Amino acid sequence: MPPIYLGEFEQIVLLAVLRLGEKAYGVPIRAEIESRAGRKVTVGALYATLDRLEAKGLVHSWFADPTAQRGGRSKRYFRLLPAGLEALSGSKAVFDRMWEGLHV
C-alpha cells in the first residue's frame, strides 16, 4: 500500500481525535484544536475533513444515542483506525527527517 500523505489540517484533526480518545466528537475536537493549535475551525471545514479521512479509511465514525442536551440529536463519534495511526507516524517521520540537523 502506498504511503498516504496528510495535509497539515488533516494531521491536526487526526491528532485531536487521537488525544480525545473515547470522547472524540464534533464539539471537543473543535475545542481541542482551538486551545492547542490556536485556530478557529468552522464545523463545515471540520466535518468535510473528517468525511475525507473516513473515506480514506483513517478514521471510523458511528452515531451515539440522541441526548436532550443537544435538542434530541445524536453525536457522531470518531476513532482512529490503524491506518490513521500509521499515516500520522509516517508524516511525523517525514518531518523529523526533514528537520534533522537544522536549527532555526
Partner 1 sequence: MSEPPKLAEWLLRRLVGGRDSDAVAGDLRETFAARGASRLWYWGQVLSCLAVRVSLYRRRSIPGIGTDFSRAFRRLRRNPGYALTAMVCLALALGVNATLFSFLDSLYFRRLPVPEADRMVTIRRQGGHFCNWQEYFSIRNDLHTVQAAAVLFFSDSMETGSTGFDASIEGVSSNYAQVLRLGTSLGAWFTPGSEADPEPPAIISYRLWKSRFASDPRVIGKRVRIFLNRTFVITGVARPEFVSSMPPIMVDAWIPLRPVSRVALPDLVARMAPGATPAGVKAEMDVISARLRASDPRNEEIASGVLVEPRAGFASGSRKAFFVPVVTLLAAISGMVLLIACVNVANLLLSRATVRQREMAVRQALGASRLRLFRETIAEGLVLAAGGLLLGLVFGYASGRVLGLLLPSLPIAMYRGLNLGIDWRVALFLAGAGGLCAIFFSLPPALANGRRGLHPAMKGADARNSRQREIYPVVQVALSLTLLVATGLLLRALTRVEHIDPGFATDHRLYVHFSGRSDFDRQATPQLYSHLLEQAREVPGVRDATLAWRVFPRPGYGCASPTRRPQTNHVRANSVDPNYFDLMDIPILRGRGFSSADSNTLEVIVNQTLARTWWPHEDPLGQTVWLCSGLAVVAGVARDAKYESLDEDPEPLYYVPRRQDTASDLSLIVRTEGDPRQWLKPILDVAQREGGTLRIYDSGTLNDAIAESLWEARWQASLLGFVGLLAIVLAAIGVYGVVACSVAQRTREIGVRMALGAAPLDVQWMVLAHALRITAIGIAVGLLLSAATVRLLRGFLYGLSPFDPAAFAGASLAWIAIAIVASWYPARRATRVDPVTALNYE
Residues 6+ apart with CB under 8 A from 33: 12, 13, 16, 39, 41, 46
79 lies in the binding site for partner 1 (CB under 8 A): no
What's the CA gap between 88 and 66, in Å, rounded?
Answer: 31
User: For partner 1, which stretch binds (CB under 8 A), given 2-10, 13-21, 46-54, 92-100?
Assistant: 46-54
Which residue, 9 or 18, is less far from partner 1 as judged by CB? Answer: 9
User: For partner 1, which stretch binds (CB under 8 A), given 3-11, 12-20, 38-46, 86-94?
Assistant: 38-46
86 lies in the binding site for partner 1 (CB under 8 A): no
What one-character DSSP code corresponds to residue 56? T
Cβ of residue 76: shortest distance to partner 1, in angstroms?
Answer: 4
Give the DSSP H or E segment for 44.
Answer: helix 43-55
How many positions of this chain bind partner 1 (CB under 8 A)?
25
The contact set with partner 1 (CB under 8 A) reads 25-27, 30, 42-45, 47-48, 51-52, 54-56, 63, 66-67, 69-71, 73-76
